[in-house]
C-alpha cells in the first residue's frame, strides 16, 4: 500500500487542500476531448468566458472512503454522474457522458490515493467534478466551448463540532423559485445563498432553513443539505418538492430506514407548522452526512427538538450509524452502492 501524506486527519475541517492530480477534458467543435490527469491546478481562459459573465457552471460532490478492510471506495457515483447530466441540460451545457464521469472520478481518486484519509480517522476524500463555459460570451447565450474538471480534497466534518446538534434559522431569503433551478446543482444557487448564510452566521446560526418561495409555508432545504425529520412515532419524513436538490444521501437514507431499520418513511410536502411536532431533525448530504438539528428559530420563536442540544436523536443516530457503516464497509451495502477504486 502507498504511503499516506502526513496530515492531521482527525482535525481537518471542510476546506480545500491542493492535492497532486486533477482530471481535465475540454469540449470544442461539438465534442468532448479525450481528457486526462494533470498536475496543473490553475485555469487560464478568456476574460469573457461564459462562466465568468453569466455563471454557466454546474458541479457535483461525492466522497471516497477507506473501508475497514483497506479498500478505497466511492459511494453511489453513478447517481452523481446522472445528476450532473440533468444539471448540464438545464443550463444548456453539453452533458459529460456518465461512463466518462465514472472513469474520471475513479482516475483522480486513484492518482491521489495518498490523500484518502485512513479508516476510522473521521475524515474522507471529497470529490468535486464540475464544468463551465470557457469561450467568450457577451450576448446572453450558452457558450460553445466547455471544460470538465475533477479535483479531490481531504475533508472533515462540514459543521464544527461534528455530531453536536446545530441551531438554524428560518431564512428571510428564498433559495429557489418555482420552475427555477433549485433541483439542479448549479453554482448560481450557491452564489445567491451567500448573503443569506453570511447573515445567518453573523446572527449565530449554523445554517438556513429555506421555505418554498411561492407560499412560505412549506419546508424546502438548507443551503447545502436536505432535511429529514422523525415523528414521535418513529416515522422518517422528508420534504418532497420540485425545487430542492434530489439528494443522493437522502434517497439512500430512505432506503436504509425502510429496508435496514424497518421504519416507515414518507416523502411528502412538509408544512412549517408541523415542524414543532417532530421528535428529531437532521440535515443530510454528502458534506453534511447526517448533521443533527437541535433548534430552529423562526423570527424569535424557538422550536426546540425534543432530542435536545447534546446528542443526535435516537432514530437519527441509527440512520447515521447504518449509512456510514455501509459507506465504510462495516455493513453490507445494497447492490451497486459501493464502487471499489482499489
Ligand atoms: N441540497 C443542496 C442544496 C446541496 O448542495 C447538497 C449537496 O450536494 C445536498 C442537498 C445533498 O445532496 P447529496 O446527498 O447528493 O450530496
Ligand atoms: C455536498 O454536500 O457535496 C455539497 O455540495 C454541499 C456544499 C454546501 C458543500
CA nearest to 339, candidates 53, 102, 25: 102
Can you give the pLDDT at residue 2? 75
pLDDT at 333 over 70: yes
User: What pLDDT band is residue 33 in, cutting at 50, 70 and 90?
Assistant: very high
Query: Mind listing the pLDDT tens digit for each residue in 211-248?
Result: 999 999 999 999 999 999 999 999 999 999 999 999 99
CB-based contact 303:291 (threshold 8 Å): no
User: What pLDDT band is residue 191 in, cutting at 50, 70 and 90?
Assistant: very high
- With a CB cutoff of 8 Å and minimum separation 6, the contacts of 62 are 74, 75, 76, 77, 80, 105, 126, 127, 129, 248, 286
Asked whether 246 lines ligand 2 (CB < 6 A), one says no
6 CA → ligand 1 middle, Å: 30
171 CA → ligand 2 middle, Å: 19
Asked whether 224 lines ligand 2 (CB < 6 A), one says yes
226 CA → ligand 1 middle, Å: 6
Can you give the pLDDT at residue 1? 58
pLDDT at 162 over 80: no
And the C-alpha cell for 301? 420563536
- Alpha-carbon span 240 to 218, nearest angstrom: 10
pLDDT at 161 over 80: no
255 CA → ligand 2 middle, Å: 21
Query: Mind listing the pLDDT tens digit for each residue in 46-72?
Result: 999 999 999 999 999 999 999 999 999
Asked whether 287 lines ligand 2 (CB < 6 A), one says yes
Residue nearest to atom 8 of ligand 2 (CA): 224
Looking at the CA of residue 80, tell me the nearest atom of ligand 1: 15
Asked whether 249 lines ligand 1 (CB < 6 A), one says yes
Q: Would the pTM of this model clear 0.95, i.e. be above it?
A: yes
Query: Mind listing the pLDDT tens digit for each residue in 107-126?
Result: 999 999 999 999 999 999 99
Amino acid at each position: 500500500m502507498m504511503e499516506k501524506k502526513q496530515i492531521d486527519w482527525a482535525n481537518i475541517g471542510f476546506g480545500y487542500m491542493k492535492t497532486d492530480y486533477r482530471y481535465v477534458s475540454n469540449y470544442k467543435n461539438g465534442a468532448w476531448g479525450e481528457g486526462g490527469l494533470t498536475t496543473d491546478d490553475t485555469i487560464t481562459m478568456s476574460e469573457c468566458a461564459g462562466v465568468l459573465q453569466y455563471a454557466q457552471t454546474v458541479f457535483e460532490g461525492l466522497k471516497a472512503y477507506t473501508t475497514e478492510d483497506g479498500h478505497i471506495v466511492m459511494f453511489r457515483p453513478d447517481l452523481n454522474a446522472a445528476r450532473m447530466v440533468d444539471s448540464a441540460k438545464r443550463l444548456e451545457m453539453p452533458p459529460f457522458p456518465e461512463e466518462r464521469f465514472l472513469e474520471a472520478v475513479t482516475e483522480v481518486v486513484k492518482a491521489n490515493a495518498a490523500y484518502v484519509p485512513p479508516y476510522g480517522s473521521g475524515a474522507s476524500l471529497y470529490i468535486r467534478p464540475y464544468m463551465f463555459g470557457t469561450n467568450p460570451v457577451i450576448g446572453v447565450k450558452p457558450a460553445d466551448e466547455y471544460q470538465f474538471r475533477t479535483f479531490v480534497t481531504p475533508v472533515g466534518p462540514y459543521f464544527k463540532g461534528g455530531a453536536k446538534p446545530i441551531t438554524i434559522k428560518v431564512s428571510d431569503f428564498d433559495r429557489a423559485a418555482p420552475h427555477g433551478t433549485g433541483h439542479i446543482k448549479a453554482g448560481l444557487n450557491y452564489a445567491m445563498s451567500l448573503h443569506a448564510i453570511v447573515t445567518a452566521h453573523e446572527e449565530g446560526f449554523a445554517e438556513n432553513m429555506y421555505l418554498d418561495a411561492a407560499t412560505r409555508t412549506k419546508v424546502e432545504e438548507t443551503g447545502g443539505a436536505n432535511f429529514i425529520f422523525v415523528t414521535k412515532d418513529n416515522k422518517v419524513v422528508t420534504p418532497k418538492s420540485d425545487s430542492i436538490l434530489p439528494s443522493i444521501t437522502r434517497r439512500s437514507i430512505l432506503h436504509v430506514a425502510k429496508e435496514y431499520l424497518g421504519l416507515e418513511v414518507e416523502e411528502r410536502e412538509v408544512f412549517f407548522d408541523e415542524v414543532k411536532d417532530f421528535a428529531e431533525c437532521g440535515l443530510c448530504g454528502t458534506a453534511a452526512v447526517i448533521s443533527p438539528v437541535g433548534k430552529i428559530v423562526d423570527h424569535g420563536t424557538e422550536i426546540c427538538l425534543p432530542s435536545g442540544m447534546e446528542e443526535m436523536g435516537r432514530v437519527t443516530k441509527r440512520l447515521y450509524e447504518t449509512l456510514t457503516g455501509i459507506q465504510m464497509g462495516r455493513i453490507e451495502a445494497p447492490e451497486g452502492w459501493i464502487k471499489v477504486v482499489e
